[in-house]
Amino acid sequence: MSDYLDKVNWTSEGLVPVIAQEHSTGKVLMFAWMNREALKLTVETGQAVYWSRSRNKLWHKGEESGHVQKVHDIRLDCDEDVILIIVEQIGGIACHTGRHNCFFKKLENDDWVVDQPVIKDTNEIYHHE
């Protein structure tokens, strides 16, 4: 059964935009893309799997950092071309900069101002022995 995959209006590149929102706080954590395989894997494993457009491959979020996203709900919008996933963010860090979420720049007086702290240094997150 993968009819739900056919219901999605994929872009011409076979992708769908995805918004990840934190279950406990309601904060929007990040924005990414999925292809069919990524959505299928997300459903089957219960963890967010995206399609990395820069690396051109499947991206199991947190595979390196351990900051995986456990999926509570998967939602589709009215036009069936945008997905919203409600997740538990393991480690409390969704952003590759070491911040809680990716939307840490706020427009103030016509300037983008960082207003969220780095929780963990990126060298510590991505360092491998």
- Residues at the contact surface with a copy of itself, assessed by CB under 8 A: 1-4, 7, 17, 19, 21, 25-28, 30-31, 43, 73-80, 82, 84, 95-97, 99, 102-107, 110-112
115 has binding-site annotation: no
As measured in angstroms, the least distance from the Cβ of 127 to a copy of itself is 19
As measured in angstroms, the least distance from the Cβ of 19 to a copy of itself is 6
Report the C-alpha gap between 46 and 87 in whole angstroms. 9
As measured in angstroms, the least distance from the Cβ of 129 to a copy of itself is 26
102 has binding-site annotation: yes
- Spell out where 23-91 has E strands: 28-35, 49-52, 57-60, 69-76, 83-89
Report the C-alpha gap between 91 and 66 in whole angstroms. 8
Nearer to a copy of itself, 10 or 103 (CB): 103
Q: Which residues are annotated as a binding site for Zn(2+)?
A: 78, 95, 102
